[in-house]
Amino acid sequence: MSFDDLGLSTSLLHAVERQGYTEPSPIQEKAIPLILERRDVLASAQTGTGKTAGFTLPILQILSEGHQLRKRPVRALVLTPTRELAAQVSENVKAYGEFLHLRSTVIFGGVNQNPQVKALRNGVDILIATPGRLLDLHNQRLLSLASVEILVLDEADRMLDMGFLRDINKILALMPPRRQNLLFSATFSKEIKQLANGFLHNPVLVEATPENTTVEKIIQKSIRVDKGKKPALIIKLISEGNWKQVLVFTRTKHGANRLSEKMNKSGITASAIHGNKSQGARTKALAGFKKGEVRVLVATDIAARGLDIPLLPHVVNFEMPNVAEDYVHRIGRTGRAGASGEAVSLVSHDEVDLLRGIERLVGQRIPSQTIEGFEPSSNPPPKAAAKPNNQRRHKPKNSGNRDFQKRRKGGFKGRSNR
């Protein structure tokens, strides 16, 4: 199928061509015609599937065809969990809307509100926002949602993980009940289904697996190594492999900072990106990484969500994620758009359970190897070895799969230290 078959206007087709897209991704193929038919859509799609264009293109089309009011009230609202994702959606809206006369703006917290207020005063057709700042400005009576015709909840699962349910419900109450609703989520927990049932009208379910599913184009490896030797090992892998653009995941913000410092000391340019950094610092780190000035970006899971970094050749799990499903998100960052990528996991003794949980989730064994000079000690470190009957053995509280199950069952309340 080509973009021409989707019912999009020539201005939009022109913009798509300018982006260099030759054919629609599966989610675009499915979602665009449905959204143009004004159906409510419940879409299962994660970053990397082209989901943003999947909802942005038809929204631009609908709004450009509709009657334009002089005051330009907000007619489409896109809610995202993070500032980064909001900024990226906004960039996409601007790029795809290049040849249309629609206005859009993005609002998120952590920065001065005045420029955002000014943009809103001038009138915007499409507003991209994180829930907190949106409510904040609404409470100050600086914006109205009374004319919203189309609502998008992007990465709805992350919004719930980050505790935005109450805010979302408040925002829903501020909009006219008759509107088109689109919900995008990588996973479908009980809470997501409840949320969807609460406000979607007779939705069509569309599903898209990312271009790179874990099973296909990504080469996955795990390297067994003692925890304390991980920094030296990752430095060796990056320098000897001459890796140019590497995304490294740590579990905590402090871990991200420490590792990034160690890398810089050993001559590998690195930046850490996590929730404690200001918006400016994060944007700068990301820009440096994209330009190739910074070789390694060390990120926590939440900070990495929504980062738009195409064609990443290497992803390293410096520490294994507690939630098995985060592994899929992490490694989905490699080799986008059809190219192959490599995902390497550094696994210490205490993380073997997590690795098994991940293997159960992705339904395959991840080949394991050791590196000369970095072979793990044959006995687990004393702490783990001294407690053969510890809780974790009987009750794998931190096992990825278990956490994943827990989240699916609705017990997951978000993680604080990321």
Residue 330 binding ligand AMP, by CB under 6 A: no
**What is the nearest approach in angstroms of ligand AMP to the Cβ of residue 50?**
3
Q: Which of residues 325 and 359 has its CB atom nearest to ligand AMP in the complex?
A: 325
CA–CA distance, 376 with 370 (Å, rounded to integer): 8
Query: Minimal CA–CA distance to 211: which of 384, 13, 413, 47?
Result: 47
State which of positions 53-82 bind ligand AMP (CB under 6 A).
Answer: 53
Burial of 22 (0-12, 13-18, 19+ CB in 10 A): exposed
Tokens linked to 258: 């420490």
Single out the segment in contact with ligand AMP by CB under 6 A; choices: 48-56, 66-74, 182-190, 342-350. Answer: 48-56
CA 78 to chain centre: 15
How many Cα atoms occupy the beta-carbon half-sphere of 228 within 13 Å? 3
Among positions 49, 61, 116, 250, the unique one binding ligand AMP when judged by CB under 6 A: 49
Burial of 301 (0-12, 13-18, 19+ CB in 10 A): buried
Among positions 91, 98, 226, 308, the unique one binding ligand AMP when judged by CB under 6 A: 308
Residue 90 binding ligand AMP, by CB under 6 A: no
Tokens linked to 205: 């379910």
Q: Which of residues 22 and 242 has its CB atom nearest to ligand AMP in the complex?
A: 22
Among positions 12, 35, 44, 47, the unique one binding ligand AMP when judged by CB under 6 A: 47
Q: Which of residues 113 and 209 has its CB atom nearest to ligand AMP in the complex?
A: 209
SS3 letters across 186-227: CCCCHHHHHHHHHHCCCCEEEECCCCCCCCCCEEEEEEECCH
Residue 44 binding ligand AMP, by CB under 6 A: no
Binding mask 9-38 for ligand AMP (x = CB under 6 A): ------------x--xx--x----------
**What is the nearest approach in angstroms of ligand AMP to the Cβ of residue 28?**
6
**What is the nearest approach in angstroms of ligand AMP to the Cβ of residue 81?**
14
Which ranges in 97-164 belong to alpha helices (H)? 114-122, 131-139, 156-161
How many Cα atoms occupy the beta-carbon half-sphere of 39 within 13 Å? 15
Among positions 6, 26, 48, 307, the unique one binding ligand AMP when judged by CB under 6 A: 48
Interaction site with ligand AMP (CB under 6 A): 21, 24-25, 28, 47-53, 308, 310, 337
